[in-house]
Amino acid sequence: MSESLSVFSAIVAAIFLEAMPFLAMGALLSAVIEVFVPAEHLIRRIPKSRGAGIALGVTAGMVLPTCECGVVPVVRRLIRKGVPPHVAVAYMLSAPIINPVVLASTWFAFRGSPKMLVGRMLVAGGVAAVMALIAGRMGEILLPSSGDNEEDRVDQGPGHAHDPATGCCHSETGPMGIGGKLLEVLRHGAHEFIDMGRFLILGAVAAGLFKTFLPQAVLSAFTSSPVLQIVGMMILAVLLSVCSEADAFVAASFPSFSAASQLAFVTIGPMIDLKLIGMYAATFQRRFFVVLMLGPALLVFGSSVLFTSASSNSRA
């Protein structure tokens, strides 16, 4: 038993220490964007073409990286400010995956594998684009709210307010200076690091438990079939709810599972997990909520199966 605990501790520590620098970078970068880059700058530049708008939404995560933990309320407010749903949904599903920090963590977690890096980008971008097209055809997708004004201003203490959509931090008596904004960056970065860090710890602990204590027969039942591997890793991603800056390290800690199933893990997790399901239900109308639950799951599963076939053909 003591040997198993030692192995468990080593696995948890390794996953956490590998992922922590990327988690810190993501928290700091998100805080900088939140404080210094108002969302209105993007709103003014949204193209009228639906295809171009979706492309903008998918690629916006490269310059406005946002963790899945915080992207839903931002997207809700963007839609209420006039951003078309197809642009907002494309950004919501792709930004937590297609951003520099997450791509760097994916590269390092999979030891510089271009197949995993490009595969993650293509699957995430494709799923986001398809779901954005659906959203654009559904019209109104948000739940009605009677408290827009109240929810737009989040109380941060006496004399201070913050607009989560614009990232504009200000005092009640006037705009903040550069020193105040830098303090806001540190405050937001620390808060986001702590908030996301708990999910990383839970994910690392769960991965350690699975790898150390799960009976080999259970793992064998999934590893015996490529399709079951994909399904198993997708379910695991939803249950673990690991943040996108760190999920690649958790996926890579399951070497007995195929690359396709690991790709499914790192793609579906930032789109559907336990923490996101509640946020989606509180934000979107029921019909779009159902689509948002089923669409990405089916698309990621299908893409991962194709990835398996392509990998088999390349080896042949």
State whether residue 169 is helix, strand or coil. Answer: strand
Among the ranges given (28-42, 173-187, 196-210), the one the predictor scored with the smallest mean pLDDT: 28-42
Mean pLDDT of 202-210: 79
Q: pTM of the full predicted structure?
A: 0.76
In whole angstroms, what is the distance from residue 261 CA to residue 258 CA? 5
Average pLDDT, the chain: 82
- Predicted confidence at residue 195, as pLDDT, reads 73
- pLDDT tier for residue 296 given thresholds of 50, 70 and 90: very high
In whole angstroms, what is the distance from residue 312 CA to residue 316 CA? 6
Render pLDDT for 29-80 as a digit per residue (tens, 0 to 9).
Answer: 767 877 876 766 656 778 889 999 999 999 987 877 777 767 887 788 788 8
- Predicted confidence at residue 151, as pLDDT, reads 44
The backbone torsions φ and ψ at residue 20, rounded to the nearest 5 degrees and listed phi first, read -60, -45
Instruction: Using the predicted structure, report yes or no on whether residue 89 has a pLDDT greater than 70.
Output: yes
Q: Mind giving me the DSSP string for 47-98?
A: -SSHHHHHHHHHHGGGTS---HHHHHHHHHHHHHTT--HHHHHHHHHHTTTS
- Predicted confidence at residue 198, as pLDDT, reads 77
Instruction: Using the predicted structure, report yes or no on whether residue 147 has a pLDDT greater than 80.
Output: no
- Predicted confidence at residue 42, as pLDDT, reads 58
Among the ranges given (75-84, 111-120, 121-130), the one the predictor scored with the smallest mean pLDDT: 75-84
Please state the length of the chain: 316
- Between 70 and 104, the more confident residue is 104
Of 138, 126, 103, the closest CA to residue 299 belongs to 126
Q: Is 157 left (phi over 0), alpha (psi -120 to 50) or beta?
A: left
Render pLDDT for 239-250 as a digit per residue (tens, 0 to 9).
Answer: 887 888 889 999
- Predicted confidence at residue 154, as pLDDT, reads 40
- Between 238 and 206, the more confident residue is 238
The percentage of the chain sitting over the pLDDT mark of 90, rounded to a whole number, equals 39
Burial class (CB in 10 A: 0-12, 13-18, 19+), 164: middle
Render pLDDT for 257-290 as a digit per residue (tens, 0 to 9).
Answer: 999 999 999 999 999 988 888 889 888 999 999 9
Task: Give strand pairing partners of 155.
Answer: 161
Query: What one-letter code names the amino acid at 183?
Result: L
Query: What one-letter code names the amino acid at 184?
Result: E
